[in-house]
Amino acid sequence: MSTKVFERTKGLTKKPFHYCPGCTHGIIHRLVGEVLEELGVLGKAIGVAPVGCSVFAYDYFNCDMHEAAHGRAPAVATGIKRVHPDSVVFTYQGDGDLASIGTAEIVHAAHRGEKITTIFVNNAIYGMTGGQMAPTTLIGQKATTAPLGRDEAHTGKPLKVSEMLSTIDGAKFVERVSVHNAANIRKAKKAIKKAFEVQLAGEGFGIVEVLSTCPTNWGMTPTESLKWLEENMIPYYPLGNFRTPEEVK
Amino acid sequence: MGKILMKGNEAIGAAAIKAGCKYFFGYPITPQNELPEYMSRELPKVGGVFLQAESEVAAINMVYGAAGAGARVMTSSSSPGIALKQEGISYIAGAELPCVIVNIVRGGPGLGGIQPAQSDYYQATRGGGNGDYRHVVYAPATLQETVDLVMEAFDVADMYRIPVMVIGDGMIGQMMEPVEFKEPKKRELPPKDWATDGTKGEREPNIINSLFIDPQELEDHVWKLEKKHELIKQNETRYEEYNLEDAEVVVVAYGTTSRVVKNAIAKCEEEGIKVGLIRPITLWPFPEEAFDKINENAKGVLTVEMSTGQMIDDVKIAVKGKHPVYFHGRTGGMVPDPRDIVAEIKKIAGGEK
Ligand SMILES: Cc1ncc(C[n+]2csc(CCOP(=O)(O)OP(=O)(O)O)c2C)c(N)n1
Ligand code: SF4
């Protein structure tokens, strides 16, 4: 008799992803889908899809979905959550979306302690528009709008979103994870689950920053990308938990 | 229910709550602050939510979320704030969601001033947001009309799944007049079965969206919106008309300006000059049909605005070249003087223009 060892989560629809080969957006989608399914909240989940490579997230998550303008997902999520306080509301945002154009919205969602969960995909670049510099682009990292590599004197140092948000009281759960190998993927899933549990417990705002790859715009193979993430991103963006409320510890 | 004396901004809030509005997202700006302040006091009493957003951009996107979630929701602001809301208004129109937006207009451009103005006619009727979209714009002239239209705005928004803007100015917002809250005419409103309120495992997911990456799909979507716009033109266009059959001069004015114009018309009538009036109540759809009723002997159409001339574009389109179109305007927060309007009317009637 054969046993099923892997099953597509009910948290995702059957629609095939449009992501580039080796892009870790797909893994992160799966983790969120699995967590929603395991927590039994798909029927009351409402996701907010951003502008960015994950713009079609509304076709992938198997729950009610709402598109947002670039950077505005936390505001849209606020509107939804205030209307349906018993629902489970999440945003899924890239680093251009959240850390550049949408800084006001994310900071103030955290500041209000908005009871939503944000999945923040940090791939250190603008993926969808073709590899421009993001606030998270590393020093020396090449981007189409930083052809010689990011220069600190010209554009400053990469923004550490988790560190920044963890100074805000309303942000009850803040953790940075990575999906570059199996062990870290397991940890990432745990963190995502906790972030949703914080919402379910009515504690406040929760965010999981997920370090992610963009082989296409980094100009690397998927394997090289995973290695680059580990060797370059993690030293600058240390993994770990910044805030957890007692209740879910 | 009898009449009660209320301040404009508060009357708007009261009308919205009477119409079942439960959610309000806004950001402070003069001269509309009494409205969010009223909502912050009153909405919690009816189990609703008032939330002061971090910006107008955030406020309108909160409205977008709440509208998608199926709620009756409103925001208000004044000119520079409405400029920031255009992004969200375009998304809301694109995703076909209902909401009500109040603009208590102040003078511009830039930070401008805080006194009454009508210099946002283009912004309201052309839309500062991107794309092929329209939204309804009501321009009440009295507080009674304001509360009537605010209440109706929620029904119209729900009926057509479209944003509805109610435009006033500091005069409407700040003045006190007696108002009575009357139920708007009953409409058969479609169920909000598209709302993101959770599938409860009982239906397929609902998706609120304005993205159509396939150009054919986007074209189909935009033409569908346009068909809806046509329907709104047919069913919802509103205006007040006066004496168009035998007027020598017809004046066109809306909102606060129309009140001044009415004084000027009365003065002219005392002197035996026959003056007509077209007062658009909907700025979009613009009441073009009213202009077909102007008698062919009229000597001219005078547009009076608190701007350097914005509605006059629509007046010219509606007049179809049948009469000369003249303009009188004050701007920057200055209100037209009825004596100046009388003088303009006389010039046109006397063939001086
Ligand atoms: C107001 C606005 N400005 C710019 C854009 C163009 N745009 C689309 S996606 C994007 C950046 C996406 O980058 P990121 O958020 O890092 O997500 P990724 O694509 O890397 O997943 C930009 C600038 C837009 N859609 N709207
Ligand atoms: S462009 Fe980059 S982030 Fe976007 S799907 Fe491709 S690999 Fe992923």
Q: Does residue A95 have its Cβ closer than 6 Å to ligand 1?
A: yes
* Facing residue for B68 by CB, picked from A59, A80, A87: A80
Regarding whether B212 and B86 lie in a shared domain, the answer is yes
Q: Does residue A131 have its Cβ closer than 6 Å to ligand 1?
A: no
Regarding whether B55 and B86 lie in a shared domain, the answer is yes
Regarding whether B150 and B34 lie in a shared domain, the answer is yes
pLDDT tens for B209-222 read 999 999 999 999 99
Q: Which amino acid, A70?
A: H
Regarding whether B158 and B21 lie in a shared domain, the answer is yes
Q: What is the pLDDT of residue B1?
A: 64
CATH number reported for the structural domain that contains residue A238 in this entry: 3.40.50.970
Which chain B residue shows the shortest CA-CA distance from A55?
B211
Tokens of B174: 């700040």
Which chain B residues contact residue A87 at CB under 8 A?
197-198
* Facing residue for B63 by CB, picked from A45, A48, A79: A79
Count chain A–chain B contacts defined by CB atoms under 8 A. 139
A5 domain residue, yes or no: no
Is B61–A105 a contact, with Cβ atoms under 8 angstroms apart?
yes
Quick one: which atom of ligand 1 is closest to the CA of A217? 20
Q: Do A118 and A91 touch, CB atoms closer than 8 A?
A: yes
Residue B71 Cα to ligand 2 midpoint, Å, equals 35
Cβ burial, residue B177 (10 Å; 0-12/13-18/19+): middle
Regarding whether B174 and B41 lie in a shared domain, the answer is yes
Tokens of B170: 């500091």
Residue A102 Cα to ligand 1 midpoint, Å, equals 10
HSE, CB side, 13 Å, CA atoms: give it for residue A52.
Answer: 34
Q: Which amino acid, B5?
A: L
Q: Give the rounded percent of residues in chain A with a pLDDT score beyond 70.
A: 100
Regarding whether B252 and B128 lie in a shared domain, the answer is no
Domain count, chain B: 2
Tokens of B306: 């608190």
d(CA B99, CA B83): 17
A20 domain residue, yes or no: no
φ and ψ at residue B342, rounded to 5 degrees: -55, -45
- Would you mind telling me the total number of residues written for chain B in this entry? 353
* pLDDT at residue A1 greater than cutoff 70: no
Regarding whether B184 and B47 lie in a shared domain, the answer is yes
Q: How far is A46 from chain B (nearest CA, A)?
A: 6
A174 domain residue, yes or no: yes
pLDDT tens for A171-215 read 999 999 999 999 999 999 999 999 999 999 999 999 999 999 999
Q: Give the rounded percent of residues in chain B with a pLDDT score beyond 90.
A: 98
A12 domain residue, yes or no: no
* Facing residue for B196 by CB, picked from A59, A66, A112: A66
Q: How far is CA A173 from the centre of its chain?
A: 14
Q: Which of B183, B215, B236 is the last residue of a domain?
A: B236
Cβ burial, residue B167 (10 Å; 0-12/13-18/19+): buried
Regarding whether B154 and B140 lie in a shared domain, the answer is yes
pLDDT tens for B54-87 read 999 999 999 999 999 999 999 999 999 999 999 9
CATH number reported for the structural domain that contains residue B331 in this entry: 3.40.50.920
d(CA A229, CA A248): 29
Domain count, chain A: 1
Which chain B residues contact residue A48 at CB under 8 A?
65
A8 domain residue, yes or no: no
d(CA A77, CA A48): 6
Query: A207, A30, A187: which is closest to A102 by C-alpha?
Result: A207
Q: Which of B215, B236, B257 is the last residue of a domain?
A: B236
φ and ψ at residue A209, rounded to 5 degrees: -90, 120
Regarding whether B82 and B205 lie in a shared domain, the answer is yes
DSSP label of B350: T
Residue A129 Cα to ligand 2 midpoint, Å, equals 10
CATH number reported for the structural domain that contains residue B215 in this entry: 3.40.50.970
A9 domain residue, yes or no: no
Regarding whether B165 and B20 lie in a shared domain, the answer is yes
φ and ψ at residue B322, rounded to 5 degrees: -75, -25
Is the model's pTM score more than 0.90?
A: yes
Is A78–B51 a contact, with Cβ atoms under 8 angstroms apart?
yes
Q: Does A44 lie at the interface with B, CB-CB under 8 angstroms?
A: yes
Q: Which of B204, B236, B268 is the last residue of a domain?
A: B236
Residue range of the domain that includes B291: 239-349
Angle at A202 between CA A198 and CA A207, to 5 degrees: 40
Rounded to a whole number, what is the distance in angstroms from the first to the last CA of chain A?
A: 39
Residue range of the domain that includes A175: 25-248
A136-140's contacts with Cβ under 8 Å and 24+ in sequence apart are A136/A95, A136/A99, A136/A161, A138/A232, A138/A233, A138/A236
Regarding whether B272 and B204 lie in a shared domain, the answer is no
Q: Which amino acid, B329?
A: G
pLDDT tens for A25-57 read 999 999 999 999 999 999 999 999 999 999 999
Q: Torsion angle of alpha carbons B337, B338, B344, B346, nearest 10°?
A: -150
Regarding whether B263 and B134 lie in a shared domain, the answer is no
